[in-house]
Amino acid sequence: MSSARTPKEVLEYAKAHGTQMLDMRFSDLPGLWHHVSFPIAQLSEGSFEDGFGIDGSSLRGWAAIHESDMLLVPDPSTCMMDPFTQIPTLVMIGDVIDPITKQHYERDPRWIAKKAEKYLQYSGIGDTAYFGAEAEFFIFDNIRFDQTQNSGYYFIDAEEGRWNSGRVENNLGYRPRYKEGYFPVPPTDHYQDLRAEMVSTMLKCGLEIECHHHEVATGGQAEIDQKFDSLVKSADNMMLYKYIIRNVAAQHGKTVTFMPKPLFQDNGSGMHTHQSVWKNGAPLFAGDRYAGLSDVALWYIGGLLKHAPAIVALAAPTTNSFKRLVPGFEAPVNLAYSRRNRSAACRIPMYSASPKSKRVEFRPPDPSCNPYLAFAAMLMAGLDGVQNKIDPGEPLDKDIYDLSPEEMRGVPSLPASLDESLKALENDHAFLTRGDVFTEEVIETWIDYKMKNEVDAIRLRPHPYEFAMYYDI
User: Between helices 192-204 and 231-251, what is the axis angle to 10°?
Assistant: 130
Per annotation, catalytic residue among 117, 361, 384, 454: 361
Note if 193 is an active site residue: no
Note if 49 is an active site residue: no
Note if 363 is an active site residue: yes
Note if 136 is an active site residue: yes
Per annotation, catalytic residue among 141, 189, 223, 236: 223
Q: What angle do CA 43, 44, 45 make, to 5 degrees?
A: 135
- 146-150, long-range: CB within 8 Å, 24+ apart, which pairs? 147/461
Question: Strand runs (DSSP E) across 69-205, as ranges?
Answer: 69-74, 80-81, 89-97, 128-140, 142-147, 152-157
Distance, in Å, from the CA atom of 74 to the CA atom of 77, rounded to the nearest integer, reads 9
Per annotation, catalytic residue among 160, 189, 215, 454: 215
Tell me the CB-side half-sphere exposure of residue 157, using CA atoms within 13 A.
Answer: 9
> What's 176's DSSP letter?
P
The bridge status of strand 21-27 relative to strand 33-39 is: antiparallel
Note if 272 is an active site residue: yes
The bridge status of strand 152-157 relative to strand 271-279 is: unpaired
Distance, in Å, from the CA atom of 258 to the CA atom of 427, rounded to the nearest integer, reads 29
Per annotation, catalytic residue among 134, 229, 384, 454: 134
Per annotation, catalytic residue among 5, 342, 459, 461: 342
Residue 452 burial by Cβ neighbours in a 10 Å radius (0-12, 13-18, 19+): exposed
Per annotation, catalytic residue among 28, 82, 117, 136: 136
CA 445 → CA 17, 122, 246, 271, distances in Å? 41, 26, 29, 24
Per annotation, catalytic residue among 12, 45, 55, 391: 55
Asked if 74 and 94 touch (Cβ cutoff 8 Å), the reply is: yes
| Cβ contacts of 167 within 8 Å, gap of 6 or more | none
> What's 70's DSSP letter?
E
The bridge status of strand 221-226 relative to strand 209-214 is: antiparallel
Per annotation, catalytic residue among 190, 195, 246, 272: 272
- 78-84, long-range: CB within 8 Å, 24+ apart, which pairs? 78/1, 78/236, 79/1, 79/2, 79/4, 79/10, 79/13, 79/14, 80/1, 80/2, 80/205, 80/206, 80/240, 81/2, 81/17, 81/19, 82/23, 83/201, 83/204, 83/205, 83/244, 83/247, 84/247, 84/251
Asked if 199 and 222 touch (Cβ cutoff 8 Å), the reply is: no
Note if 394 is an active site residue: no
Note if 180 is an active site residue: no
Per annotation, catalytic residue among 307, 363, 384, 419: 363
Residues labelled catalytic: 55, 134, 136, 215, 223, 272, 342, 361, 363
